Amino acid sequence: MDEASINRTWRRRAEAAVRDPGPRLKAMGRMRNEVLALQAEALAELAELDEALGTLLRRRLELTGRIRACHRTLKGTDDFSRRWPGRATLPRAVTPSVAAEPAVVEGAELRAAVAGVLRTAGTAVRTVEIHELLLAQGVTAPGRQPLQAIWNALRALRAEGSVELVARGTYQAVLPAEGPDGGAPCVP
């Protein structure tokens, strides 16, 4: 066997081990190296997708701001509530058709997801938009009232200082003054 076919064999074995880990021993040697290579490829692709998602999110927030400005100009108010007849409705986020049922996360996982959405946005985001963006990522909060769980997560994030309340129902991530090594802040 030549070197290329041996490499393909190890790659197939590593992919099979990743797809169905089962009760196996810890990967060692060449198998470990192949699994680490697969992990590095997946992390690189995830970073590209996160960057693309951040760009789309910033564009979506820009467009919803423009819609609000149009509504404010037409109606003289920024309120989109049911109290005002003839109100304009903001378009809902498009949820991916791949995830028919979003994964339900709660507790620390929900707080991490909400913080990630706010860091990716890089600007102030309304609570309803946070929920829509979580749904677009295939994640939702538990219960019949997911916004209540998101508010609870935001309250905990505010208490730890990673999120600030900008206006009623609008939150923004707080970037640290300096990075973990004492240098420039970590930018998402």
Q: Is residue 125 part of a domain?
A: yes
- Note down the domain range covering 144: 92-188
Q: How many Cβ atoms sit within 10 Å of the Cβ of residue 114?
A: 31
Asked if residues 163 and 174 have their Cβ atoms less than 8 Å apart, the reply is yes
Q: Is residue 110 part of a domain?
A: yes
Total count of domains within the chain: 1
Q: What is the pLDDT of residues 78-107, one digit of tens each?
A: 555 444 444 444 445 444 444 457 888 989
Q: Is residue 27 part of a domain?
A: no
What CA–CA distance (Å, rounded) separates 13 from 9?
A: 6
| C-alpha 102: how far from chain center | 13
Q: Is residue 68 part of a domain?
A: no
User: Residue 96 sits in a domain of what CATH number?
Assistant: 1.10.10.10
Q: Which amino acid type is present at position 66? A: R
What CA–CA distance (Å, rounded) separates 160 from 178?
A: 17
Q: What is the pLDDT of residues 158-172, one digit of tens each?
A: 999 999 999 888 999
Give the burial class of 90: count Cβ atoms within 10 A of its Cβ; 0-12 exposed, 13-18 middle, 19 or more buried: middle
pTM for this entry: 0.51
Q: Is residue 51 part of a domain?
A: no
**Containing H/E element for 119?**
helix 108-121
- Can you read off the two tokens belonging to residue 69? 């400005």
Q: Is residue 17 part of a domain?
A: no
Q: Is residue 188 part of a domain?
A: yes
- The mean of the pLDDT values for the chain is 77
Q: Is residue 79 part of a domain?
A: no
Asked if residues 73 and 88 have their Cβ atoms less than 8 Å apart, the reply is no
What CA–CA distance (Å, rounded) separates 33 from 14?
A: 9
- Can you read off the two tokens belonging to residue 124? 């102030």
Confidence class for position 109, pLDDT limits 50, 70, 90: very high
